[in-house]
């Protein structure tokens, strides 16, 4: 398999970007409740994302930057990414979260990926407007995955998708190998296999021949 596509929040990272942002304006608990409902497929992801971002209206760009700097990769995530790329596998991150947070986490772990598809927070006059823009609001991860695969000349049957929440279902269902990372109950039936750590994921990728021994 030539392409591995990861979700970010809840998968590559155990941080939740919107919650970290919410902590900057005393909205973290409400953020977490909305996030949980979305990940369990109780409300549409686009609706949940807009509801969460609306709570951030007026947050300064300095506070936004502070939140993004707290985003971290899970233990061993960087080594999985580095190992895949060393083996010639294309690595992508497809997230409804925000590109700046992903980039901060990758930089902090001194690693990088080939492609990031993510959303962005809209700001004016040094403050967030409470709006969000990007390809993964209404757009779904299967479309983004297919676009990346087509650009790389890779068949979807040769793609691995790794995710945990309801918004990952489209790419999990489209990929040749669907790996649930401690998946939510609504997601597990769509998974070929499940793992609960990056070390376990690395073992699955090695067993399936995605990574070299």
Three-class secondary structure of residue 157 per DSSP: helix
Task: Establish whether 9 is a catalytic residue.
Answer: yes
What are the residues facing 177 on neighbouring strands?
160
Q: Residue 142: which residues within 8 A CB-CB, separation 6 or more?
A: 170, 171, 173, 174
Using CA atoms, how far apart are residues 52 and 40, in angstroms rounded to an integer? 16
Instruction: Enumerate the H helices of the chain as residue ranges.
Output: 17-23, 28-39, 45-54, 61-68, 77-86, 99-108, 141-152, 169-174, 198-207
- What does the block give as tokens for 177? 């190998």
Instruction: Kindly state the DSSP code that residue 149 receives in the 8-state scheme.
Output: H
Alpha-carbon torsion (126, 102, 121, 35), positive or negative: negative
Task: Establish whether 82 is a catalytic residue.
Answer: no
From 9, 142, 164, 202, the catalytic residue: 9
Q: Which of 198, 177, 207 is nearest to 1 (CA)?
A: 177
From 7, 142, 164, 202, the catalytic residue: 7
Q: What is the number of other CB atoms lying within 10 angstroms of the CB of residue 173?
A: 13
- What does the block give as tokens for 123? 């700001």
State how beta strands 193-195 and 115-124 pair: unpaired
Residues recognised as catalytic: 7, 9
């Amino acid at each position: 398999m030539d392409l591995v596509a990861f979700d970010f929040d809840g998968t590559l990272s155990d941080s939740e970007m919107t919650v970290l942002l919410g902590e900057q304006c005393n909205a973290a608990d409400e953020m977490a409740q909305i996030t949980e409902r979305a990940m369990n497929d109780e409300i549409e992801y686009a609706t949940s994302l807009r509801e969460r971002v609306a709570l951030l209206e007026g947050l300064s760009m300095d506070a936004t930057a502070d939140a993004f700097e707290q985003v971290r990769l899970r233990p061993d995530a960087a080594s999985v990414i580095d190992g895949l790329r060393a083996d010639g596998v294309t690595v992508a991150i497809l997230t409804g979260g925000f590109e700046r947070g992903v980039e901060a986490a990758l930089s902090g772990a001194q690693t990088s990926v080939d492609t990031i598809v993510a959303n962005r927070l809209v700001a004016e006059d040094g403050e967030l407007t409470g709006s969000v823009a990007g390809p993964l609001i209404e757009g779904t991860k299967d479309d983004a995955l297919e676009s990346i695969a087509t650009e790389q000349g890779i068949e979807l049957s040769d793609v691995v998708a790794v995710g945990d929440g309801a918004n990952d279902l489209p790419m999990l269902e489209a990929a040749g190998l669907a790996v649930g990372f401690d998946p939510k109950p609504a997601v597990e039936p769509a998974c070929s296999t499940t793992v609960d750590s990056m070390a376990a994921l690395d073992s699955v990728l090695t067993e399936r021949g995605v990574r070299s021994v």
